[in-house]
Amino acid sequence: MLVVRKRITLFALFEEAGKLAGGRILSSTDATHQIELDSGRRIKVKAAQVLLTFAQPSVAELLRDATELAGHIDLDLAWTFAPEGDFGFAELAAVYFEDPPSTVQQAATLLRLHEAPHYFRRAGKGGRFRKAPADVLQQALAAIERKKAVQAQIDAWAEELVQGRCPEPVRAQLYRILFKPDKNAPEYKAVVHAARTAHLAPLALLQRAGAITSAYQFHWQRFLHEHFPRGTGFAALAVPPLPDDLPLAEGVAAFSIDDSSTTEIDDALSVQGLGSGTVTLGIHIAAPGLAIAPGSPVDAVARERLSTVYMPGHKITMLPEAVVQTYTLAAGAPRPAVSLYLAVDEATLEVRGHTTRLERVPIAHNLRHDQLDGVVTAAWLDDPGGPTWPGVPAEVARLHPTLAWLWRLAQACKARREAVRGRPETFTRPDYTFKLEGVQGDEPTGEETVVIGTRARGAPLDLIVAEAMILANHHWGQWLADSGVPGIYRSQASLAPGIKVRMGTKPLPHAGIGVPCYAWSTSPLRRYTDLVNQWQIIACARHGATAALAAPFKPKDAALLAIISAFDAAYTAYAQFQSTMERYWTLRYLRQQGMTELVAAYLKDNLVRAETLPLVLTALGTDGLQRGERVRVRLGTIDEVSLEVTGTVVERLGATEPVEGDTLEGEPEEALQAPLTVAVEVAVDDADEAAAAGPTAPPAARA
* Positions of the chain with pLDDT under 50: 1, 3-4, 659-674, 684-703
Is beta strand 630-639 parallel, antiparallel or unpaired with respect to 351-368?
Answer: unpaired
Residue 376 has what pLDDT? 87
Residue 684 has what pLDDT? 45
CATH 2.40.50.140, applies to 595-653: yes
Query: Which of these, 85, 71, 74, lies nearest to 131 by C-alpha position?
Result: 85
Residues 6+ apart with CB under 8 A from 347: 277
- On whether the CB atoms of residues 487 and 529 are closer than 8 A, the answer is no
Query: Which of these, 480, 204, 256, lies nearest to 371 by C-alpha position?
Result: 256
- On whether the CB atoms of residues 616 and 643 are closer than 8 A, the answer is no
Query: Which of these, 259, 179, 280, 273, lies nearest to 222 by C-alpha position?
Result: 179
Is beta strand 597-604 parallel, antiparallel or unpaired with respect to 630-639?
Answer: antiparallel
Residue 7 has what pLDDT? 59
Which sign, positive or negative, has the C-alpha torsion 538, 540, 543, 544?
A: negative
For the whole model, what pTM was predicted? 0.79
Helix (H) or strand (E) holding 314: strand 314-316
| DSSP structural state of residue 525 | T
Q: What is the spatial distance between Cα 468 and Cα 342, in angstroms, rounded to a whole number?
A: 10
Give, to the nearest 10 degrees, the angle between helix 528-543 and helix 558-593: 140
Query: Which of these, 121, 118, 120, 113, lies nearest to 142 by C-alpha position?
Result: 118
Distance of CA 551 to the CA centre of its chain: 33
Omega into 100 within 30° of 0, i.e. cis? yes
Q: Looking at the DSSP assignment, which residues form a beta bridge with residue 257?
A: 367
Query: Which of these, 509, 506, 472, lies nearest to 494 by C-alpha position?
Result: 509
**Torsion angles phi and psi, residue 419, rounded to 5:** -65, -35
Q: Looking at the DSSP assignment, which residues form a beta bridge with residue 341?
A: 282, 355
Which CA distances in Å does 397 have to 365, 384, 400?
13, 11, 5
pLDDT tens for residues 505-521?
999 999 999 999 999 99
Q: Looking at the DSSP assignment, which residues form a beta bridge with residue 284?
A: 268, 339
Helix (H) or strand (E) holding 482: helix 460-482
- On whether the CB atoms of residues 401 and 276 are closer than 8 A, the answer is no
User: What secondary structure does DSSP assign to 269-282, as a single string?
Assistant: EEEE-TTSSEEEEE
**Distance between terminal CA atoms of the chain?**
104
**CB count, 10 Å around CB of 354?**
18
How is the chain split into domains, by residue range? 11-132, 152-213, 254-576, 595-653
Residue 318 has what pLDDT? 95
Q: Looking at the DSSP assignment, which residues form a beta bridge with residue 481?
A: none
Which CA distances in Å does 552 have to 318, 397, 479, 564, 699?
21, 44, 16, 16, 44
Residue 506 has what pLDDT? 92
**By CB neighbour count within 10 A (0-12 exposed, 13-18 middle, 19+ buried), where does 281 fall?**
buried
How many helices and strands (H and E) does the chain possess? 21, 24
